[in-house]
Amino acid sequence: MPKVLLYTTAKIVWTFLFYGTDVNENRAHVHVGKKGTTIFAKFWLEPEVELAKEGDLTDAQLKQLLQVVEENKEMLLKQWEVFKKGGNVKLIKINK
């Protein structure tokens, strides 16, 4: 379960990751949650960024995360390709 991105705001640290079983899915996506999250949200990265599953996050959190995923789409897609090929995914840290 490699972490791809840690996105830190004043109140929350968001963790973006790929699940090991994701290599079997053809459509690029990322899972997102925060500390205490038991069910992560899922965002498709292609062909356009869109919410696939809400997880246990609020509407306001999902709206914020949709924007974060949009802003980091290219980096996430590059990491997805590395992940799919069995390479080492780099953890990116962003503080806002």
How does pLDDT run across 2-48, given as a tens digit for each residue? 999 999 999 999 999 999 887 788 899 999 999 888 899 999 999 99
Q: How many domains does the chain have?
A: 1
Q: Is 60 exposed, middle or buried (0-12, 13-18, 19+ CB in 10 A)?
A: exposed
Q: What is the pLDDT of residue 1?
A: 79
Domain range enclosing 18:
3-95
Using a cut of 0.85, tell me whether the model's pTM lies above it: yes
Rounded Cα distance between 29 and 10, Å, is 26
Q: What is the pLDDT of residue 62?
A: 96
